[in-house]
Structures are given as C-alpha cells and as structure tokens.
C-alpha cells in the first residue's frame, strides 16, 4: 500500500485579493500525474481542502473534477477530513455518493465514533489498511462548558478531550483488528497544532481554540499508530523529529513570507518497513517580496524584468525619504512586463501618519488582532496591561470563530 499524504490545499485562497484559480488548476493536474507516476493507491487530504466556508462555483468545479478524474489513476481510495477552514456541511453533502467511488469524507466529528474508522480493501476485497480519519475537533465535540471556569481549565479540558478521542478511537480499532485474519497497519489523521510545530509569519494559520496555548503533545496519539498524517501547519515537517508523525504542509505558498519555501507532498510506504519520500511541488506562480529604499526596489524590479517571467510582487518601502509618488514610480518600473504588484507598503508614510493621526490607511492589510494592537499603541497602553488585553482579545476572537463554525 502506497499512500500520498497531503493537506491544506486551501482552494479559493487569494493573495491580496488576487484569485489563484490557475495555480490550483495546475496543482491538481500535477497531483494526478504524481498518483500515476508513483503508483499511489490511497490519497489522504488532512483538512482545509477549501480556504473558506463558501467556495465559489469555479473552485467547487475544480474540486469535483479532480475527484472524478482519480478513477482513471492507480489510486483506489481517497480519504478527506474537514479542517478549521472547511464547511463541514459542504464537505459532507455528497459523501454518500462519493463513497461509491471509494472516496470517504469526514467533514465533522460524527455522532457514531466508529464512522471515523475506515477499513480499506484491496482489489480482491481483502482488508489492507485501517485509517482513523479524525477531522478538526471543535469545542462542542470535546467538552462541556462549566460556568465560571478559567481559561486554563478550558484549555486543559480541550487537551484531555483530544487525547481521549484518539484513545477511544484506537481501542475500537483494536477490537475490529481482533476479527481480522491478520493485523493491519493503522494510519491516523488529524487537523490540529502539535507542540513544537513550525509556522511562518503571515501564513494565515489561525488559533484553533479559545486562548492561544492549546498545543497538542505527541503523547496525545497512541504510540502503536503506524503513521500519523496531520494537517493545519503549512510547512512540511516531522513532529518531534519522528519519521512517522508528519505534517505534509500546504502545497502552495500562502503568502510572500513563504515565497522561498519548498513545498512537498509525502509518499508513504508502510510495509515491509516505513519509508517517507518528500515529493517537491513545482512552483506554479513565482512570488517575490522586495524590501528597501527606492533605489533597491527599482534595481530589483529591473533584474526581475530580465527573467521575462510572470512574478507577483510585494513592495515594502523602508527608505528615509518621504515619497508621495512611490506608487507612480513603481507602476512605471513594471509597465509592459509580466510583473504584477499586489501590494505596496510605504512604511515611511505610514509612520508619518501615525505620528499625526489615528487614521490607518492600510486597514485592509491588517488582521483584526493587528488593528487591536495599533489601537493599544495609539492610546499608549502600558506594556503589562497591553499583554493582558491582547490575550483577552485573542480569546474573544477565537470564541467568535468557534461560534460561527458551530452554526454549520
């Protein structure tokens, strides 16, 4: 059995408002060639298939067209779990139909835990692999709320609830194993944040639960699991340096801070011994971030023009001169070239504005938390109080996001 571990496709993601339909289409076409060339028999998608709760019809068409084309590849099974960005209702809607194509979808934690245990069979209908397909677990899936409990108590309950969920699921899997002729390899899936996981600034990763301290330890998962296929973090990485506990990472860059990061999907062979091969994902759209004074910016743009390649640019002006025609100079520099500027940040103007007014002209570039930080700065809140207020604000934001998700 050869498995391909992927996650965090984020279909529908935009870069500063720019649609990325062409990138997603090229990625899915490339992924089909990987299934063929690598002889992949099972495809795992560990959450965040879509970037938002309401993907466009064009993005949905890409998704379903890809699933339909898999039937012409060596891949016999597909398992998809929901992530925190996904709409469980949207993912689950066609699952009964998709099951006839051996495509298993677990959009949210089901009422019957056994529904998260998927027994895969070979061409002769013999059991060959067991998958514990655990989607992103929301607060309401894990714990009950007690009046007056502290943030620490809530986090403790969440961690205990996640560990208990995997423990009980593995116990049920063991009972199923007892009725089989021979024990099967067991793969577990999840969409969560493990302790020690690496992220990059601006990658769009959200805190999953109320508070910011909920990080799942490696001991949360039963040690007997043969392979742990995780999603949520966008950089491919091992969990605590364990070869068989992995994040595959997002296959496309989620922001300019990831522009120099190589992306991967993971080919996993479980028997006779575990091997994991990182398959590099091609760059379907070049990104480049330029930071410096005007001379550096214009010089770099001229060098990039020479490549005669489509490149999306982020410009961060950090020079000392107060330029009010920065936009016009950059527009002239990229004219009649395949370069496209998505964002210009004029830090000098921005600092000047902050010194004279509370108006923030780049509000669309800031997250709600960053806006809150700017408000604290402008009102000169002292450092100790600022940290306390930031924690409270993060808790409120997470609670609102979880409430929105629970309405699905």
DSSP H helices, 200-284, are none
pLDDT, position 206: 56
Residue range 126-171, pLDDT digits in tens: 999 999 999 999 888 876 666 667 777 778 888 889 999 999 999 9
Strand order in the sheet with 227-231: 117-121, 127-133, 186-191, 227-231, 242-247, 237-239
pLDDT, position 351: 53
CA–CA dist 325, 125 (Å, integer): 69
CA–CA dist 48, 250 (Å, integer): 9
Range(s) within the chain of domains with CATH label 3.60.21.10 = 2-280
CATH superfamily of 2-280: Metallo-dependent phosphatases (3.60.21.10)
Regarding pTM above 0.85, the answer is no
Radius of gyration of the chain (CA): 23
Closest CA to 50 of 66, 34, 68, 70: 66
CA–CA dist 386, 10 (Å, integer): 33
Strand, helix or coil at 196?
coil
Residue range 40-59, pLDDT digits in tens: 999 999 999 999 999 999 99
- What would the DSSP string read from start to end of 10-57? -BT--BTTB--HHHHHHHHHHHHHHHHHHT--EEEEES--BSSSS--H
CA–CA dist 157, 287 (Å, integer): 42
Using alpha carbons only, give the angle 68, 231, 163 rounded to the nearest 5 degrees: 125
């Amino acid at each position: 059995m050869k498995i391909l571990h992927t996650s965090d496709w984020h279909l529908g993601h935009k870069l500063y408002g720019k649609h990325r339909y062409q990138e997603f289409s090229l990625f899915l076409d490339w992924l089909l060639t990987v299934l063929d060339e690598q002889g992949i028999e099972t495809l795992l998608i560990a959450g965040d298939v879509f970037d938002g709760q309401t993907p466009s019809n064009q993005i949905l068409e890409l998704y379903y067209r890809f699933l339909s084309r898999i039937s012409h590849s060596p891949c016999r099974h597909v398992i998809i779990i929901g992530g925190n960005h996904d709409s469980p209702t949207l993912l689950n809607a066609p699952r009964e139909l998709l099951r006839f194509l051996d495509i298993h979808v677990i959009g949210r934690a089901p009422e019957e835990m056994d529904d998260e245990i998927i027994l895969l069979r070979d061409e002769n209908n013999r059991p060959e692999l067991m998958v514990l397909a655990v989607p992103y677990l929301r607060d309401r899936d894990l714990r009950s709320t007690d009046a007056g409990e502290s943030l620490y108590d809530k986090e403790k309950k969440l961690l205990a609830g996640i560990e208990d969920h995997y423990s009980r699921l593995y116990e049920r899997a063991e009972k199923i194993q007892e009725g089989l002729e021979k024990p099967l390899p067991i793969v577990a899936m999840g969409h969560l944040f493990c302790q020690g996981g690496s992220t990059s600034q601006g990658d769009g990763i959200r805190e999953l639960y109320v508070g910011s301290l909920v990080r799942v330890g490696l001991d949360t998962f039963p040690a007997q699991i043969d392979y742990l296929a995780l999603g949520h973090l966008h950089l491919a990485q091992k969990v605590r340096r364990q070869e068989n506990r992995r994040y595959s990472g997002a296959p496309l860059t989620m922001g300019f801070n990831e522009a120099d990061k190589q992306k991967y999907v993971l080919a996993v062979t479980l028997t006779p011994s575990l091997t994991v091969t990182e398959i590099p994902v091609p760059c379907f759209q070049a990104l480049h971030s330029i930071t410096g004074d005007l001379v550096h910016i214009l010089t770099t743009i001229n060098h990039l023009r020479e490549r005669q390649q489509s490149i999306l640019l982020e410009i961060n002006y950090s020079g000392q001169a107060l330029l009010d025609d920065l936009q016009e100079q950059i527009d002239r520099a990229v004219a009649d070239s395949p370069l496209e500027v998505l964002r210009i940040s004029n830090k000098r103007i921005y600092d000047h504005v902050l010194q004279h007014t509370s108006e923030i002209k780049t509000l669309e570039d800031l997250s709600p938390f960053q806006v809150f930080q700017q408000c604290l700065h402008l009102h000169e809140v002292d450092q100790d109080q600022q940290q306390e207020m930031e924690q409270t604000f993060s808790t409120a934001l997470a609670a609102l996001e979880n409430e929105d998700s629970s309405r699905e």
